Structure 1
Amino acid sequence: MMNRQKFIKTSTLLAASALFFKRTKVLADSKKIRIGVIGVNGMGWSNLTAILKNTNVVCTALCDVDENVLNSRVSELEKRDINVKTYIDYKQLLADNNVDAVIIGTPDHWHCLMMVDAVTAGKHVYVEKPIGNSIKECELMVAAAQKYNAIVQVGQWQRSQQHFEDAMKFLHAGSLGKVRMVKVWAYLGWKKDVPIVPDSAIPAGVHYDRWLGPATKRPFNANRFHFNFRWFWDYAGGLMTDWGVHMLDFALIGMKVSDPRSIMAAGGKFAYPDDVEETPDTLTTLYEFDGFNVQWEHAIGIDGGPYNKGHGVAFIGNNGTLVLNRQGWEVLPEGDRMAAVPFQKSKDNGLERHMDNFVEAILTRNKSILKAPVEAGAHIAILSQMGNIAYRTGKKLYWDKDKRQFSDKEANKYLAANYHNGYSYPKV
């Protein structure tokens, strides 16, 4: 027999699921999925451009706290005979019955609140990576998606590229022999320093308080706004979470592992020690697993990464090394222990395929087919956050996967981002 506690929990989940599909019933009656985008300056716009190539989609709404960006995007859509409603307040977009699904392309510190609000409002969600800006946020986002039975795709679009799947199949066939080291990296030679500039007046059309949201209250500074937000702890986690979630994801997929035993990190501002950025421009992070290590490294201002590639992941086995990145993959043999595999070039558009996958999941109401479901996005974001926490504490950290915390009290202070300005963590 089902006990009372289990009955109540089951009934609650069923009711939440029924509410979600009641709110999304309008989708079944419409011919196309109606998309709203929150944050349209960078990846939000790239995501919209990609998804609009799918004939099952139409854009009906845009939201951005910078009216200059918002008006520019509206003009671009009008040239394509696409007319949309516009919003400054994302909650008003979520209340729009003419929106079935949303793309969240805002700075990282907004992802959690917006995604939870979106699924609560009965919307499907495509959220940019990293899915959350702290470990606690990631866990809350998973809980919210599961509670409302929502379809949530995370913007780790390499998971939809065919050559990444092909490389994983080759790796799992075992030809490399025992893999005892995995190297993962991102070198950004094009990235220059961000010189110090004084605080200034808020530009006309910018709703700065709405941009800050739960982040620490600070005067407006152009260097912290738009693209450069990712180099400040208030809003993001630097390259560790910006690129790390992409490449480290395949380290875990390739090795079929989950949680590391320990994490160490060392680095600093070695390229541009006097610029305004807070996150390290040079970093090495070591994740210890049973029988092998995963090493992450990033460097700003340098192009010459391992294997002469600016980014990638390398599985180093006894018989050879598989090197994989967005452009393709190859196998470099260890002497004559195996045959080389020449470079297998990518032949598809990963972002467009990722969007097609999201659309198919919505149309079929089958979240099991998602290439980057919320659980996967949260897991790799958490792993990347672990690397940053190891760097910020300067300690070798041990992760308790059952308690969902570190054994070190100082490290546990970084599990949750601090919310300010009257904002609080959503209740799920």
Structure 2
Amino acid sequence: MNRKDFIKISSIFAASAFVPFSGVLASQVSLRVGLIGAHGMGWANLNAILKNTNVRCTALCDVDENVLQRRTAELAERGIDVQTFVSYQDMLEADLVDIVIIATPDHWHCLQLADAVKAGKHVYLEKPIGNSVEECDVMVKAVDNSASVVQIGQWQRSQQHFRDAIDFVHSGRLGKIRTVKAWSYVDWKKTIEQKPDTAVPEGVHYDLWLGPATKRPFNPNRFHFEFRWFWDYAGGLMTDWGVHMLDYALLGMKVSDPVSVMASGGKYADPNGASETPDTMRVVYAFEDFSIEWEHAIGIGLGPYGRNHGVAFIGNNGTLVLNRNGWEVIPEKGRMEAVALQKPKDNGLDMHMQNFVQAITKKDRTLVNAPIQVGAHIAVFCQMGNIAYRTGEKLYWDRTKRKFTDRKANNYLLAKYHNGYKLPKA
């Protein structure tokens, strides 16, 4: 999509970019929330939504009973009693929840979202929304055919300093922007050593964890947080962090689909490590008169401009650098004034949950700051980078057909379900 076409979807990329929170009234009806996937980010999401006074937790679901027991005990210490499930379908069928938080591995998102909205639940879905382009398309249709309010976990869209930075970019003061860089350098994450397959740990319902993914013996490298580094379940840093930073690259440039994409990288830090996704990668998305570049590295923390994550809009007059810690403008000599670091003044995740609850209580899903269309678009955009890497080719995107011009590359667009699971019908 070029700049002219961007205007046609402004309701998605501009109008929905930020809706300030006006407060949840105490008189509003109480909302019951259930969490699917309580190990990591799901727990943070649950605690954030519970800061809204009209929301209470009534159910937890996790295929690891060890996690369930730990989280249930933590809630009980706060006077919160919940019913627990290992099957998310059982939780949806029980008359216990109005809202579902889905924070499972990426390969489960499509099925769980489709089932949740079909059951009439509102959904907060962790990013990236799917593990394939085909899944993303199905998920958008599933939400469109429902009455559910759905918020995607791209919480920067609810944080004020991100909005302020994009307003500055749109002001034109940076001059012509030739290049946008986005990146994630994670020095806290070390490479994964090879480990042997083992027996399934006691309390883990492994078949329910695998779901539609290829059936494999249990290996601790592929479980819980580490699933991110294997193609069966996710897309590595390209999708895990790319959906955050590249989302703002596109928002700042008012564009959507690139003309072409090419990528390079590999397992440079540890060629013999267990992970499948590259620990080092660079992607170039070409547009009509500028490019967006993505880069990531595991085990290194000193990224561009001395920041371990961010997005930089490089203009003729200066460069605006933005990340979760704030934004600033570094001027070209004599062309504009510098802007000192503008630090965040709010909590992005809390604001995002408030925005979600506000949309539910007002029965208006157009109020959410990160609707399903936004989540789907950036997930597809990041998948393009991974597909270019996996094919080793420079790929050209046909935005009308939503396909590459390369037939081999299009095979990677499709969802591959196993173990009797089928892609939901749109």
TM-score bracket for this pair, using the shorter chain length = over 0.9
Counterpart-to-counterpart distance in 1, 2:402 and 2:166: 29
1:68-83 to 2 correspondence within 5 Å? 68-83=66-81
Specify the alignment match of 2:152 in structure 1.
154
SS at match of 1:359: helix
Aligned partner (choices 209, 216, 219) of residue 214 of structure 2: 216
Aligned partner (choices 286, 290, 293) of residue 292 of structure 1: 290
Q: Would the aligned equivalents of 2:28 and 2:361 in 1 still touch at CA under 8 Å? A: no
- Deviation of 1:98 after TM superposition, in Å, equals 2.0
Counterpart-to-counterpart distance in 1, 2:278 and 2:244: 18
Specify the alignment match of 1:368 in structure 2.
366
SS at match of 2:413: coil
1:248-259 to 2 correspondence within 5 Å? 248-259=246-257
1:100-111 to 2 correspondence within 5 Å? 100-111=98-109
Specify the alignment match of 1:243 in structure 2.
241
- Deviation of 1:224 after TM superposition, in Å, equals 0.5
1:312-331 to 2 correspondence within 5 Å? 312-331=310-329
SS at match of 2:56: strand
Q: Would the aligned equivalents of 2:415 and 2:423 in 1 still touch at CA under 8 Å? A: no
TM-score by length of 2: 0.93
1:43-122 to 2 correspondence within 5 Å? 43-122=41-120
Counterpart-to-counterpart distance in 2, 1:94 and 1:416: 27
Counterpart-to-counterpart distance in 1, 2:367 and 2:166: 18
Alignment pair present for 1:196 and 2:198: no
Aligned partner (choices 119, 138, 141) of residue 140 of structure 1: 138
Counterpart-to-counterpart distance in 1, 2:232 and 2:28: 40
Paired residue type of 1:71: Q
- Deviation of 1:290 after TM superposition, in Å, equals 1.2
Paired residue type of 2:314: I
Structure 1 unaligned runs (5+)? 1-28
- Deviation of 1:272 after TM superposition, in Å, equals 1.2
SS at match of 2:123: strand
Structure 2 unaligned runs (5+)? 1-26
Paired residue type of 2:356: F
- Deviation of 1:47 after TM superposition, in Å, equals 0.2
What percent of counterpart residues are identical? Answer: 65
Paired residue type of 1:193: T
Specify the alignment match of 2:281 in structure 1.
283
Specify the alignment match of 2:405 in structure 1.
407
- Deviation of 1:31 after TM superposition, in Å, equals 2.7
Specify the alignment match of 2:6 in structure 1.
none
Counterpart-to-counterpart distance in 2, 1:87 and 1:197: 30
Counterpart-to-counterpart distance in 1, 2:255 and 2:347: 27
SS at match of 1:421: coil
Counterpart-to-counterpart distance in 2, 1:422 and 1:384: 28
Specify the alignment match of 1:171 in structure 2.
169
Specify the alignment match of 1:308 in structure 2.
306
Q: 1:151 to 1:121 in 2, by over 3 A?
A: same
**What is the CA RMSD across the aligned residues, in angstroms?**
0.9
Counterpart-to-counterpart distance in 2, 1:184 and 1:204: 41
Paired residue type of 2:341: F
Counterpart-to-counterpart distance in 2, 1:221 and 1:316: 44
Paired residue type of 1:220: F
Specify the alignment match of 2:330 in structure 1.
332
Deviations 1:137-186, CA, capped at 9 Å, x for gaps: 00100000000132110000011110000001111111001101000000
Paired residue type of 2:215: K
Deviations 1:225-253, CA, capped at 9 Å, x for gaps: 00000000000000000000000000000
SS at match of 2:137: helix
TM-score by length of 1: 0.93
Aligned partner (choices 154, 179, 183) of residue 181 of structure 1: 179
Counterpart-to-counterpart distance in 2, 1:56 and 1:358: 12
Deviations 1:244-281, CA, capped at 9 Å, x for gaps: 00000000000000100000000000011111000000
Paired residue type of 2:171: A
Deviations 1:55-107, CA, capped at 9 Å, x for gaps: 11000100000000011000000001001111111001111222101000000
Paired residue type of 2:172: G
SS at match of 1:378: helix
Q: Would the aligned equivalents of 2:120 and 2:147 in 1 still touch at CA under 8 Å? A: no
SS at match of 1:324: strand
Counterpart-to-counterpart distance in 2, 1:156 and 1:80: 28
Paired residue type of 1:297: E
Deviations 1:24-50, CA, capped at 9 Å, x for gaps: xxxxx9831100100000011010011
Deviations 1:294-341, CA, capped at 9 Å, x for gaps: 000001111110000000000000000000000000000000100000
Specify the alignment match of 1:341 in structure 2.
339
Q: May I ask how many residue pairs the two structures share in their alignment?
A: 400
Paired residue type of 1:116: A
- Deviation of 1:203 after TM superposition, in Å, equals 0.4
Counterpart-to-counterpart distance in 1, 2:336 and 2:206: 58
Paired residue type of 1:63: C
Counterpart-to-counterpart distance in 2, 1:181 and 1:149: 40
- Deviation of 1:417 after TM superposition, in Å, equals 2.4
Q: Would the aligned equivalents of 2:31 and 2:55 in 1 still touch at CA under 8 Å? A: yes
Paired residue type of 2:213: A
Task: List structure 1 segments (4+ residues) > 6 angstroms apart after TM superposition.
Answer: none
SS at match of 1:286: strand
Specify the alignment match of 2:354 in structure 1.
356
